[in-house]
Homo-oligomer: A and B are copies of this chain.
Amino acid sequence: MNGSRSNKDKKQAIFDISKEENFPDWYGEICKVAELADIRYGVKGFTPFLPWSVMSMNLMFAYLEDAFQSRDHLPMLFPTVIPESNLIKEANHVEGFTPQVFWIKEIGDGEKLEEPLALRPTSETAIYPMYSLWLRSWRDLPFKLYQRCSVFRSEIKSTRPFLRGREFLWIESHNVFATHEEALAQVQEDIEITKEVVTEHFGIPVMVFRRTQWDKFPGGFNTYAADTLMPDGKVIQLPSTHDLGDNFAKAFDVTYLNENNETVNAWQTCYGPAISRIYGAMISIHGDDKGLRIPFKIAPYQVVIVPIYKEQTEKEVLDYCNDIVKTLRKAGIRVHLDKREQTPGWKYNYWEMKGVPIRVEAGPRDIKEKKVVLMRRDTMKREPIELSALKKTINTLGEEIDANLRAIAESKFEGLIVDADSMGTIEDALEKGKIARIPFCTTEMDGLPCDEAIKEKTGGEVRGTRSDVEDVATGVCVNCGKVATEIVYVARSY
């Protein structure tokens, strides 16, 4: 009997996989049953994204674009293809990216292109030749522009929906300044945007590192990246921002006339928050063994209403629920009334698995008492509330849920960092899912062999120096024994 509170088919929709013990299975299965992505497309690393993930990613894009626009960054959109001659102009950059490039050399039935075109792996080499044309004098500066688009990289590592794909969704912000100081201030603003959007809005805590010279953006001066922690104890890089110095300005002639009428190189930064990857991290971090737990702010449906009725009460209950839909929608709340044939019990499990933050249950008894029953997904607590208080309660509850999900995620950072001073103690820390803080010779290129040794012996890699906390170097490098000039962090990573 549709709509009646019966548990007979409840089991059909139950999701039950231990996220902590078996994260890869949890992740693969939730992508499938929650209908987030379908890995059966038939081209390695290219995955269709389904409405349940796309609706959240669109909301995530909106938060990010708001953060940019409120800081006077404007949107633009460049072509998806980059001519080969542009791509190879900056030597370090080309070395870093060309092995990953998809090439277009042919149109239609065998017609050769005059010049090969690359699918953009990132757009510096598309954008900066135009910046060179657009930038004339110091009066034009700063340029603060971004684009929302797909990028394409033929990853060698195994791919996974959202977390690592050969096509992924991002915003790339490309900025030009008159001085290096202003460029460095932009790097700080980018880190501020990361924290505002990724941590405050999406509830994902991050640590910010300045990457080593061998792990930075190819062609730039320095890379600053936000890492978070996945349920399997590995860290994953979320947005990174790059001080490009004047390297690209030199390669692409991004110059301007200064106030003394001299032609000088500009200073540049770029920043690339990848929404699809942040989405993958978001569902991984907030989910539990019953499925997704999506923050209220970015949930496709913030509230789902499950009507409870028998044949003779159907009209009364659906009318009551439709009124609630109208009231909540008018208040700007994203609400969905589930009128499908299945039982309420089945629907409860279904929407718990899909991670809808708040469930409203309404049946004949609730109508009589002018109440509804509310269930919050994060704690699974149910309570009846007065219908008249519904709108206000939902908004308050939404904030509480988001704060709680963030607090749970932040609690995983407690005690996460462990001091180590030898390969053995690093390995111990990593085995326990911790991050090792170690004395290290140098993050200049000379330190690369020590990173490689650490990787070989412990499976972890040097993530760089913290740029959001002060560390004082003491002791000697765990590998080469030279006096440590820096404190770096070692973690297993994606």
Interface residue ranges, A against B (CB under 8 Å): 38, 40-43, 46-51, 54-55, 58, 74-81, 83, 86, 98-109, 115, 117, 119, 126-127, 129-130, 133-134, 139, 145, 147, 150, 152, 154, 167, 169, 341
Interface residue from B47, B79, B83, B106 paired with A79 (Cβ < 8 Å): B47
How far, in Å, is A353 (CB) from chain B's closest CB?
18
Q: Give the number of times this chain occurs in the complex, counting copies.
A: 2
Q: How far is the CA of A328 from the CA of B105 in the complex (A)?
A: 51
Q: A43 touching B152 by the CB < 8 A rule?
A: no
Contacts of A152 in B (CB 8 A): 80
Q: Which 4 A-B pairs have the closest CB atoms?
A: A46-B79, A51-B74, A99-B108, A49-B77
Contacts of A80 in B (CB 8 A): 80, 119, 150, 152, 167
Q: Which residue from chain B places its CB closest to the CB of A300 in the assembled complex?
A: B74
Q: B98 touching A108 by the CB < 8 A rule?
A: yes
Q: A79 touching B130 by the CB < 8 A rule?
A: no
Secondary structure of the A contact surface, majority rule: mixed
Contacts of A104 in B (CB 8 A): 102-104, 119
Q: A38 touching B130 by the CB < 8 A rule?
A: yes
Q: How far is the CA of A375 from the CA of B436 in the complex (A)?
A: 64
Q: A107 touching B101 by the CB < 8 A rule?
A: yes
Sampled A-B contacts (30; CB under 8 Å): A38-B133, A38-B134, A41-B78, A43-B79, A43-B81, A43-B115, A47-B79, A48-B76, A48-B77, A48-B78, A49-B77, A50-B76, A54-B74, A54-B77, A54-B147, A55-B74, A55-B75, A80-B119, A80-B167, A81-B102, A98-B109, A100-B107, A102-B104, A102-B107, A103-B105, A103-B106, A104-B119, A105-B106, A119-B119, A139-B341
Q: Which residue from chain B places its CB closest to the CB of A152 in the assembled complex?
A: B80
For the A-B complex with A38-B130, A50-B76 known, give 4 more contacts whose Cβ atoms are closer than 8 Å: A41-B78, A77-B169, A102-B106, A102-B107
